[in-house]
Amino acid sequence: MKKTMRKIMIVFVAALMVMMMAVPSFAVTYPLSTTVYFYAQGGNVTQYGGDIISVPAINTGAQVTYQTGFTTNFTTAFPTPSGVTHQYEDVQPTVMDAIYDVYYYLNNYSNNGITIGWDGSSTPNGAYLYQLNGVSQIPEIIQSNYWKGYSWHIFLNQVTNSWNGTTRKGLIPYYASNMPLQDGDKVYVRFLESEQSW
């Protein structure tokens, strides 16, 4: 009788340990609310090659709330093309989900004018904002090792060009699709001039 009870306990404890290991390492507390702000100063930009591009002024935002806490109920908002692996797809909301959902709401429930691009060469794959409100990247100077122009920049909780991973504040250093949301996050999407050298 004691041996049987002991065997049952061993099997029970082993099953419990296996179930505990299956719990995801990230914990999401729902409901989860995030506010997204879109901003572009507006005006004319001279594109590389001489064309003048008119950028409309944008200064709007809204809040989105995710109610579900179960992976079977959350659905990623933005499209994921075949051949691309999105690490949080249908698992939990990311900064890109919030951007896509708020734009969709503010644009009268239409996703016209927003385009998500994907970097399939990095690991994990990542989604970036290619076009918003019909405005995409505008190169001003293109050289063999230098680029200057306007593009969409995504900041989390504070508009600053540096990133603090501990406080989760600043310019997101990687793709918005790879940044899980936390309750109370503020996302700032700004059309800004920047330059890069390599």
Per-residue pLDDT of the chain (198 residues; tens, 9 = 90+): 555 555 555 544 444 443 433 334 456 678 899 999 999 999 999 999 999 999 999 999 999 999 875 555 678 888 888 888 888 988 889 999 999 999 999 999 999 999 999 998 887 899 999 999 999 999 999 999 999 999 999 999 999 999 999 999 999 998 999 999 999 999 999 999 999 998
What CA–CA distance (Å, rounded) separates 189 from 85? 24
Flag whether 115 is in a domain: yes
Flag whether 11 is in a domain: no
Counting the structural domains of the chain, the total is: 1
Q: Which residues contact 183 (CB under 8 A, 6 or more apart)?
A: 29, 31, 32, 33, 34
Expressed as residue numbers, the domain containing 64 is: 30-197
Flag whether 141 is in a domain: yes
Flag whether 51 is in a domain: yes
Q: Tokens representing 120?
A: 């399939």
How many other C-beta atoms can be found within 10 angstroms of the C-beta atom of residue 79?
13
Flag whether 4 is in a domain: no
What CA–CA distance (Å, rounded) separates 152 from 142? 18
Q: Tokens representing 71?
A: 């992976």
Flag whether 1 is in a domain: no
Query: CATH number, domain at 46?
Result: 2.170.130.30
